């Protein structure tokens, strides 16, 4: 393992003003997104859509540091035969790959899941590295509900995350460690804070046990937010203050950067929260974005599967990427949203 090189890649992934595009939707998830805009989810349409994003010059060069790909996408070629992964490299962004294989029910823990995909992961990582991937992603999913999460669910998911991270580093790939506490449910922000704290503490404990070099990874956590069904939604200022306090309590300074997931927040909410955090003063690590839906909902709608809408889709993507790039530096302002509209 070359830690200097891993640290270089991890640091580039959280470069000031840039963030990570999560374009790693599974076939099932992208079908839902395409259904919403009336587009059939064929391999060709999925390729055309992602090619549109990766060819968005302004967004990719100025605001996107890396792209998380799905297995199908990393092997696909653009219409002109150029591998999609090459389009990402040519823009100066770093290609990455989602390597987990989704979740399964966790035995003896009703309503809880564990992420799977460790079997043969070492072999898969080798192939992805040869293809050009320099980082990977694994998502653990923790639900808040009556009597959950259990310590069992937190432990087994943290253990799997750390196993994955160690295998990545051995393959010279930077792991994005993503322990997601879901915002589904009616819990308040304090319950989210408390559960996320337990999850992060257990995750870093496991990472140390499994000798993962913290300097060669990126953390992708949820923000401390109210559950979607909670009657009292926390303000932007409260989300920012509590999330930063939580991270300071749980995340070692050796980690090069933190790239948040949007987790079901609206485009503008995700941007506003990130901006407010970056205005809270100096932090030991960079705070940026690794958004999927919060970067893609607008371009998907603008594109709607039509070749003549590619330029409109790219404009919508560039706008969202720019807004989040500004937010990652604490320089975003809601008035900038209106200007573009």
Q: Rounded to the nearest 5°, which phi and psi values hold at 125?
A: -60, -40
Active-site residue, selected from the candidate residues 98, 137, 220, 242: 220
Neighbours of 119 (CB within 10 A): 9
178 is catalytic: yes
Question: 285 is written with which tokens?
Answer: 């690590």
Residue 288: which H helix or E strand, with range?
strand 286-291
Residue 90: alpha-carbon gap to chain centroid: 22
Residue whose token pair is 């404009």: 315
202 is catalytic: no
Euclidean distance between CA atoms 255 and 284, whole angstroms: 9
Helix (H, G, I), strand (E, B) or coil at 221: coil
**Residues 199, 200, 206, 207, CA torsion sign:** positive
CB 14 within 8 A of CB 259: yes
Euclidean distance between CA atoms 249 and 107, whole angstroms: 31
The alpha carbon torsion through 136, 150, 206, 240 (nearest 10 deg) reads 70
Euclidean distance between CA atoms 61 and 166, whole angstroms: 30
Residue whose token pair is 């009556």: 146
Active-site residue, selected from the candidate residues 51, 178, 180, 206: 178
Question: 172 is written with which tokens?
Answer: 């010279």
Residues with catalytic roles: 178, 220
């Amino acid at each position: 393992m070359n830690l200097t090189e891993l640290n270089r890649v991890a640091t580039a992934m959280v470069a000031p003003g840039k963030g990570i595009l999560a374009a790693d939707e599974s076939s099932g998830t992208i079908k839902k997104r395409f259904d919403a805009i009336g587009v059939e989810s064929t391999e060709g349409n999925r390729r055309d859509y992602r090619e549109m994003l990766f060819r968005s010059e302004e967004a990719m060069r100025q605001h996107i540091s890396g792209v998380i790909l799905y297995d199908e996408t990393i092997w696909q070629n653009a219409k002109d035969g150029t591998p999609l992964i090459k389009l990402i490299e040519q823009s100066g962004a770093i290609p990455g790959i989602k390597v987990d294989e989704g979740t399964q029910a966790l035995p003896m823990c009703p309503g809880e899941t564990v992420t799977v995909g460790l079997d043969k992961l070492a072999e898969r990582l080798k192939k992805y590295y040869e293809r050009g991937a320099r980082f990977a992603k694994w998502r653990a999913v923790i639900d808040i509900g009556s009597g959950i999460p259990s310590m069992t669910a937190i432990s087994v998911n943290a253990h799997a995350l750390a196993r994955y991270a160690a295998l990545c580093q051995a393959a010279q790939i930077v792991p994005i460690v993503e322990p997601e506490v879901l915002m589904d449910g009616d819990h308040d922000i304090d319950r989210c804070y408390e559960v996320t704290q337990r999850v992060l503490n257990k995750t870093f404990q496991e990472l140390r046990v499994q000798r993962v070099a913290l300097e060669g990874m990126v953390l992708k956590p949820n923000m401390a937010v109210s559950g979607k069904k909670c009657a009292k939604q926390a303000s932007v200022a409260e989300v920012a203050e509590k999330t930063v306090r939580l991270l300071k309590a749980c995340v070692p300074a050796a980690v090069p950067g933190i790239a948040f997931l949007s987790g079901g927040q609206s485009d503008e909410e995700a941007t506003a929260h990130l901006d407010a955090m970056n205005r809270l003063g100096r932090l030991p690590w960079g705070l940026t974005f690794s958004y999927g839906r919060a970067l893609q909902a607008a371009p998907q709608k603008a594109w709607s599967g039509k070749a003549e809408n590619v330029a409109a889709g790219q404009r919508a993507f560039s706008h969202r990427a720019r807004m989040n790039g500004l937010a990652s530096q604490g320089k975003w302002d809601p008035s900038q949203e209106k200007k573009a509209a």
